[in-house]
Chains A and B, each alone.
Chain A
Amino acid sequence: GENVEQHPSTLSVQEGDSAVIKCTYSDSASNYFPWYKQELGKGPQLIIDIRSNVGEKKDQRIAVTLNKTAKHFSLHITETQPEDSAVYFCAASLGKLIFGTGTRLQVFP
Chain B
Amino acid sequence: GAVVSQHPSWVICKSGTSVKIECRSLDFQATTMFWYRQFPKQSLMLMATSNEGSKATYEQGVEKDKFLINHASLTLSTLTVTSAHPEDSSFYICSGQPLAGGVDTQYFGPGTRLTVL
Contacts and interface: CB of A to CB of B under 8 A. Distances in A.
Interface of A: 31-32, 34, 36, 41-46, 49, 51, 89, 93, 95-102
B80 interface: no
Interface stretch (B12-20, B65-73, B108-116): B108-116
B106 interface: yes
Contacts, number: 52
Given A32-B102, A46-B106, A96-B34, 12 more contacts: A36-B108, A43-B110, A46-B108, A89-B44, A96-B46, A96-B49, A97-B44, A97-B46, A98-B46, A99-B45, A101-B42, A102-B42
B43 interface: yes
Contacts of B102: 32, 49, 51
